[in-house]
């Protein structure tokens, strides 16, 4: 099968720069893909790299797209190098959507934009309206998930949790390892005292703790989880140590009752397989947008009964739909998915997507 290939880079600004152990993140850059088959059916995909997690850079992804011909095949998609995991995810997701005719709204309007049985393109119209219809479908699918909402690092978390609690989000993730441990544990005690009963809290260190600091946090979490007078559950600590300290994280996971989840250590499918083979049976955080081939991830997860949490890479609804589809199929535990991040963006997503296809000519 042959597919007309188009792509558009995008840039979305965070309302407030995201502060993590890796540094300050001000803009989310990525690439939107569109594949059109010979009958006019369309599949959308997204490349949303996070290079400091181990994926390719946005520049490498754009360079790869620019080198592709205007018409590609299935072989093109399934021969993408493992060094481009975000590209693997984006292209396979677009192809899967096209094959399954996932969105009836997209299919119904492609006759306006692409001539059947031809790769001769016309000016693309009504991208926004058809995507708004598709957004309704995505919102319906997304609403079936319990979501973990990301709180900002530091004292700001003490105020922001209230903004989302009333709309039904009762699982939160808080960034740690950003400020000195004494300051963060003080804020943590305040936060633990404020959060309502039956809240679940995840702590995300992004690999920024020392071994001693990790012990401090794990002991505090154990104390809270064992205290019957506190109706707060610390669900897990995410990536307490750096990627090259796997054996120490394995040791910590066996020394404390609070669970540890690997994140940066399992950013790509190759890393996920390696950690499993080395004995990790704790939680695996799967960032589908950068992990690599969805078909190979599916094969691994169906073969091994892993405890996984699917998590966002701050993608648009295009990538989010594909990731949540995988989460629906592959999640073994009833854990909240980590996709409560849309409030971090300054610009309305629909405006961003509308602007991408205003020009008739393709960058590719």
Nearby residues of 144 by Cβ (< 8 Å), 6 or more positions away: none
198: how many CB neighbours lie within 10 A of its CB? Answer: 9
Tell me the sheet residues that pair with 3. 72
Q: Is 359 annotated as a binding residue?
A: no
Active site residue 287: yes
According to the annotation, is 263 in a ligand binding site? yes
> Is 125 designated active site?
no
CA distance 225 to 235: 9
The CA distance from 239 to 299, in Å, is 25
Question: CA torsion sign, 158 to 164 to 168 to 170?
Answer: negative
- Binning the chain into helix, strand and coil, the percentages to the nearest 5 are 45, 25, 30
CA 11 from centroid of its chain's CA atoms: 16
Euclidean distance between CA atoms 149 and 166, whole angstroms:
12
Which residues share a beta bridge with 78?
Answer: none
238 marked among binding-site residues? yes
Contact present, 25 and 18 (Cβ < 8 Å):
yes
Beta pairing, strands 283-286 & 23-36: unpaired
214: number of Cβ within 10 Å: 23
End-to-end Cα, the chain, rounded Å: 19
Catalytic residue among 4, 96, 175, 200: 175
Q: Which residues are annotated as a binding site for Mg(2+)?
A: 204, 238, 263
* Catalytic residue ranges: 175, 287
């Amino acid at each position: 099968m042959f597919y007309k290939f188009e792509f558009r880079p995008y840039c979305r600004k965070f309302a407030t720069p995201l502060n993590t152990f890796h540094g300050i993140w001000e803009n989310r850059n990525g690439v939107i893909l569109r594949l059109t088959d010979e009958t006019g059916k369309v599949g959308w995909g997204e490349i949303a790299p996070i290079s400091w997690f181990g994926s390719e850079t946005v520049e490498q992804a754009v360079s790869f797209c620019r080198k592709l011909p205007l018409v590609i095949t299935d072989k093109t998609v399934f021969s993408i190098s493992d060094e481009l995991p975000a590209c693997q995810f984006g292209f396979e997701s677009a192809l899967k959507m096209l094959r399954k005719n996932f969105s009836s709204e997209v299919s119904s309007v492609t006759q306006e934009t692409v001539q059947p049985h031809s790769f001769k393109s016309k000016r693309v119209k009504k991208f926004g309206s058809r995507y708004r219809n598709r957004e309704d479908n995505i919102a319906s699918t997304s609403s079936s998930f319990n979501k973990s909402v990301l709180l900002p690092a530091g004292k700001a978390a003490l105020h922001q949790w209230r903004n989302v609690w009333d709309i039904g989000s009762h699982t939160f993730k808080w960034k740690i390892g950003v400020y000195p441990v004494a300051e963060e544990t003080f804020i943590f005690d305040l936060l633990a005292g404020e959060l309502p009963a039956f809240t679940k809290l995840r702590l995300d260190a992004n690999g920024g703790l020392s071994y001693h600091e990790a012990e401090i946090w794990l002991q505090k979490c154990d104390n809270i989880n064992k205290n019957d007078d506190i109706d707060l559950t610390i669900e897990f600590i995410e990536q307490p140590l750096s990627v090259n300290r796997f054996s120490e994280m394995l040791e910590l996971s066996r020394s404390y009752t609070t669970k540890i989840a690997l994140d940066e250590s399992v950013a790509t499918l190759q890393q996920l397989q390696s950690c499993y083979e080395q004995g990790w049976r704790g939680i695996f955080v799967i960032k589908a947008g950068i992990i690599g081939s969805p078909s190979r991830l599916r094969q691994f997860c169906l073969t091994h009964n892993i405890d996984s949490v699917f998590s966002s890479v701050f993608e648009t609804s295009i990538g989010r739909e594909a990731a949540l589809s995988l989460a629906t199929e592959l999640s073994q535990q009833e854990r909240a998915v980590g996709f409560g991040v849309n409030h971090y963006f300054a610009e309305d997503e629909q405006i961003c997507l509308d602007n991408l296809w205003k020009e008739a000519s393709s960058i590719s």
